[in-house]
């Protein structure tokens, strides 16, 4: 059963995060946090202001890739996903100032909902900027969000990351051109629930229950 323990109301917390994300976007004036090139984030801002999300059920073939987690351990992506726990996967990068912090706070909000049972659901974030996002960078990113047990961040070679994004039908021509995506899979099921848009912790709990978690 998914507990409903809350430290803050999810809707209130998520609304505050949306406002913070938009303010951060404005302050950064089109730069990512690494001081990179100018980018048009107008599409990202529109996504952040839209509190609705789209849901579909998909089939994906996950390749047997060896990636590296935020603790520096080499792991098989296929084996990691073959777990007896519900799994949620998303794609982020550490220097992102728009969508990624909100995707990550959706995970944190879900962990708030889970209370002391955060390890009951496997949360996976795969970087789309492997050249910058070393295990050390991802570990710092996780600590910045006060991530709890159950959240694993992964990096790897550019080739393997592109294989992973392609497997989930989320290939990004450029890291600035990514979408807010989450993928839910239950144990011993082949189908994935694909969620496009921003989700709060209560949204995740709702989707988990719709998928069959009790």
Q: What is the pLDDT of residue 214?
A: 66
Most confidently predicted of 14-18, 111-115, 143-147, 196-200: 143-147
Neighbours of 134 (CB within 10 A): 16
Q: For 42-101, how does the pLDDT look when each residue is reduced to its tens digit (9 = 90+)?
A: 444 444 445 589 999 999 999 999 999 999 999 999 999 999 999 999 999 999 988 999
Domain ranges within the chain, ordered by starting residue? 10-211
Q: What is the pLDDT of residue 31?
A: 36
- Supply the CATH classification number for the domain 10-211: 3.40.30.10
Report percent pLDDT > 90 for the chain. Answer: 58
The set of residues, in sequence order, having a beta carbon less than 8 Å from that of 204 and lying 6+ positions away, is: 88, 106, 109, 110, 113, 182
Cα separation, 23 vs 153, whole angstroms: 26
Q: What is the pLDDT of residue 21?
A: 44
């Amino acid at each position: 059963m998914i507990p409903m323990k809350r430290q803050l109301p999810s809707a209130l917390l998520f609304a505050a995060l949306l406002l913070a994300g938009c303010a951060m976007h404005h302050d950064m004036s089109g730069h990512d946090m690494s001081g990179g090139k100018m980018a048009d984030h107008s599409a990202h801002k529109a996504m952040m202001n839209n509190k609705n999300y789209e849901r579909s059920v998909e089939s994906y073939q996950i390749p047997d890739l060896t990636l590296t987690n935020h603790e520096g351990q080499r792991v098989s992506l296929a084996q990691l996903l073959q777990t007896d726990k519900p799994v949620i996967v998303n794609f982020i990068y550490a220097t992102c100032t728009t969508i990624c912090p909100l995707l990550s706070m959706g995970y944190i909000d879900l962990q708030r909902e889970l209370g002391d049972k955060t390890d009951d659901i496997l949360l996976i974030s795969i970087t789309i900027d492997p050249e910058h996002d070393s295990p050390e960078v991802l570990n710092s990113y996780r600590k910045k969000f006060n991530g709890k047990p159950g959240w694993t961040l992964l990096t790897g070679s550019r080739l393997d990351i592109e294989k992973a994004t392609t497997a989930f039908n989320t290939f990004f021509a450029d890291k600035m051109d990514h979408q807010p995506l989450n993928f839910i899979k239950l144990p011993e099921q082949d189908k994935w629930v694909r969620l496009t848009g921003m989700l709060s912790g209560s949204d995740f709990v709702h989707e988990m229950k719709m998928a069959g978690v009790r």
